Amino acid sequence: MGRPRVLLDLDPVLQGELFDRSRIERLRSIAELASATDTRHPDDRFDYDVVVTGWGSQPFPNTRPAASPLALVAHSAGTIRRIVPRDLMAEGVRVTQAASGMAVSVSELALTFTISLLRNLQLVDRSMVRRDWDAALSHPLGQTIAGARIGVIGASRVGRAYIEHVVGMGAEVVVSDPYLPLAEANEMGVELVGLDHLFATSRVVALHAPVTSETVGMVSRERLASIPDGGIIINTARAAIVDMPALVDELRSGRLSAALDVFDAEPLPSDSALWDLPNVILTPHIGAVTVHSRAMQGDVVVDEIERFLNGSALVFEVTPDNYDRLA
């Protein structure tokens, strides 16, 4: 048998960000390496033993050709549900993903959002941009993370990294996640609570849950209304878990503030009400867009391919059991 064949099914710019010379050489030392420019049709990917996918990769069909050697899809980003259908996994194609490489960067953005809104920095900055020193000094007193009650929805990899940040800074943290064991919550220094209690008692609500049938719309109009006046919503996860019209209504009223990195439609439409709200921080889905994150994602992919080709267990494998829960 010849050497295994690995295809980097990636945009050239993204490929360069993920795989520097050392990572490319590691792959070449264990396999024949090809890039997306070597294929003419998405189905050509079935000619390879391992395919590395990422943002912009085309979805795989539900079935694998009988003669295809494809055995592993190594996704360089997070959710694989758009890329790899369950049926393909049922035919023996294994899947791994590099969400762990993005966790630190996304959690740091969520932390930045939290500090900024607690300190009213978006309001102060806009006053300073207008060269209005007195207005910048007139905004309400800010608050610290130390002593703040922060509710975290979803103890995902990002959620756990965020929890570590804010617990370390002295926050009182409550978490709602049906998959988080009580013993682990105790080790993390957080309290497990129900969703309704979390919303009704938290100063900051940070969203770190995936999109599933259970989480779509979970941040409902009723739960938003239960957040105490002056509350903050942080969303670096997925827009679909929030009732966005309800959130916009709360933001327009001035009762809540929010920092959002994800939206129902991306790019954010030019007529969105969010653009003009003073109590909102907006970023264009850049939670994982850092040099560190790209390097970590590349390392995860190369490490997983090495494990797979060596016959070792995958560390970040997506299975039918966790397929719907991995963001």
Domain assignment of residue 63, yes or no: yes
Mean pLDDT of 72-94: 94
Band the pLDDT of 2: cuts 50, 70, 90. Answer: confident
Q: Tell whether omega for the bond before 69 is within 30 degrees of 0, i.e. cis.
A: no
Residues 42 and 85 in one domain: yes
Residues 259 and 243 in one domain: yes
Residues 25 and 82 in one domain: yes
Of 285, 307, 317, 325, which is the active-site residue?
285
* pLDDT tens, position by position, 270-308: 999 999 999 999 999 999 999 999 999 999 999 999 999
Domain assignment of residue 189, yes or no: yes
Structural domain span for residue 92: 5-97+291-318
Mean pLDDT of the chain: 96
Of 160, 165, 223, 238, which is the active-site residue?
238
Residues 64 and 91 in one domain: yes
The CATH number assigned to the domain holding 300 equals 3.40.50.720
Residues 154 and 213 in one domain: yes
Residues 16 and 109 in one domain: no
* pLDDT tens, position by position, 225-278: 999 999 999 999 999 999 999 999 999 999 999 999 999 999 999 999 999 999
- Residue among 322, 319, 316 nearest 102 (CA): 316
Residues 259 and 295 in one domain: no
Place of tokens 């396999």: 31
Domain assignment of residue 327, yes or no: no
Confidence (pLDDT) at 228: 97
Q: Is 238 a catalytic residue?
A: yes
Mean pLDDT of 87-100: 94
Cα dihedral: 68, 315, 37, 48 (round 10): -20
In this structure, what are the phi and psi dihedrals at residue 60, rounded to the nearest 5 degrees?
-80, 150
Residues 91 and 149 in one domain: no
Give pTM, 2 decimals. Answer: 0.93
Domain assignment of residue 200, yes or no: yes
Mean pLDDT of 1-13: 92
* pLDDT tens, position by position, 133-159: 999 999 999 999 999 999 999 999 999
Residues 110 and 83 in one domain: no
Q: How many structural domains compose the chain?
A: 2
Band the pLDDT of 1: cuts 50, 70, 90. Answer: low
Confidence (pLDDT) at 327: 52
In this structure, what are the phi and psi dihedrals at residue 169, rounded to the nearest 5 degrees?
-95, 5
Q: Is 285 a catalytic residue?
A: yes
End-to-end CA distance of the chain: 37
* pLDDT tens, position by position, 100-110: 999 999 999 99
Of 25, 91, 214, 266, which is the active-site residue?
266
pLDDT at residue 193 is higher than 80: yes
